[in-house]
Structure 1
Amino acid sequence: MSSSRRSAADPPRPVTISHIARTAGVSVPTVSKVINGRAGVAPGTRARVESLISEYGYRKSGPPAGGTTIELVFAQNGDLPGIEIIQGVQQVAREHQLGVVLSGSGADPGRYWLDHAVSRRSLGVVAVAQLDVEEQDQLRRHAVPFVIVDPTHELPDDVPFVGATNWSGGRAAARHLLGLGHRRIATVTGPGHVLSCRARFDGHRSALEEAGLTGRSTLVTRQELTREGGRTAAGDLLARPDRPTAVVTGNDLQAVGVYQAARAAGLRIPEDLSVIGFDDLPVAAQLDPPLTTVHRPLGQMAVTATEMALALGRGERPAQTGIELATTLAVRHSAAPPAA
């Protein structure tokens, strides 16, 4: 093995996927795709990763002995549609010939899902729920690794999570509208205690400040991340004499509500009102007109979280405890230059 690749600072064998990703300058999901023969990797990148796999003598490990399931835990009564997350977890489970158990957390004080996960000796927990300290401690006591997807609040440094670049996404949405010529841009954001909502709004505000548009707090309203929340907020905004020419929402469900309020007010999208959402749920492309929105890679977030949980179960230490996957703007037909 070349001395340029391994030094005293390198981790001992067995070499982990994280170390290969770090050395190749790519993400852990990219290395996983190469190892598992999946598409979506550029030929040059694939060749570089395969060369490192061969050089390090990496061999794909199976999951730890004892269990055959991965626990996917959603918050009870949560608003987040989970089909993409379920599909992402199932994708990794199929590769390892594992089952997926879908559970709910938050409403049952008995934490039935937690007792079952321990008794089943689950290989890992992927939580789209914000596990409390007691739940985390119990999982640790029984050596069940867990990863939180899309945390709603700040986590301790030792809690693994997978999120998205919400701040960058919020900025990209506002910049798109500014580039189209909008200056009266309203924001419908979610609850202030939700981490992703704060990040999205901060990114939006940063773009407006860069453009010299400050002091427009009257065009900011907070509502629940639901269709009803978006409709209520937009009904108020659109009734004002200086109504906005564009609205950025906290998620796609709020955007659906904005569409409804705009049509009730006799406004056309995008001719009279431009709208941009966040998440890029399946409903976004089905709206009329199709919604321009910030794509959050929910499926890949689930894949990454599941692979991380299984790696933790094998005793691998990830290169970083928290991973944020990139958001991108999905431009469709709900945003246009403002009417003259």
Structure 2
Amino acid sequence: ALPIWLEGYSSIIGLGAEDLSTMGVTAAQGTTELAKGTVIVGSQVASQFYNPQPRPGQEATEPPELMDKTLRIVLIRWAQDGTETRKTIQVRVAGVLAESRGEADWSMFITLDELTAWNEWSMGRRINRDKDGYNQAVVKVEDARQTIDVTNLIVEMGYQAYTPQSFVEGINSFYIILQIIFGGVGAIALLVAAIGIANTMTMAILERTREIGLMKAIGATNRDVMSIFLGEAAGIGLLGGLGGVAFGWVAGQIINVLALAYLAGQSATQGGPPPSVAVYTPAWLPPFVIIFATLIGLVSGLYPALRAATLVPIQALKYE
């Protein structure tokens, strides 16, 4: 059988460090040491390869085994008149990184000197690092508790600094704002629901005043009458809670389907692992919602039930 040439795409990162282990990654195969003419690939790079000329009915190509294979990297240089010039460079895969669930899984790593040479050819000019600078520099801190202090020092030097902690703090601030907004909306909805239940129970008492008087005339106590109407109020809250849980679950599934399809496409084009879930519902939430809704119904029906229990039988029987 003729060999099948596969094509693929990946981010190529040039590092000044001689060993990727200084970045906190490990090798699943081969080495983490960078050398001229070699490349180290992330754990998911192989999945980015595909057959550019598949035959009709041909099954999808399995991810290739990249270790010790030779890759052809195509550089493209565009001229001012729109014409392009291509240059092919061969590199050997010296290592495959273990999965890190980060950008490294979808990237290829070479020495900074090699990447500089490639960029100089593509741009048609020499790169002066003292003038052009670098895209980014990674600073490792021995003690995680010093991260914020080191970040502040870097910012004071006039550079932008990014840390995982700052990212987490930003996300937390965003979610705190969301919680305040949705908490306010939820509080208003809760108040409206409580007023609605209280109004429903009050109207039910007015419509059944004679019935309540008859019940008390044949021996029902205030506690019996109160229990009946509290039970009805709790039942309304329970049905509302069940309906809310059902609606929330269906809405979550729809959002998951739509959001995951979009995010999977973004992951495929930008690199990175596709997400497995967009909307997550903890196991404790549905029971809590149902119990809480029942309690709201119970509290909302407390005044109407107390009013029904204190009706005077004779006056209730005369009520029209």
TM-score normalised over the length of structure 1:
0.21
Structure of larger gyration radius? 2
TM-score normalised over the length of structure 2:
0.22
Q: Which has the higher helix share?
A: 2
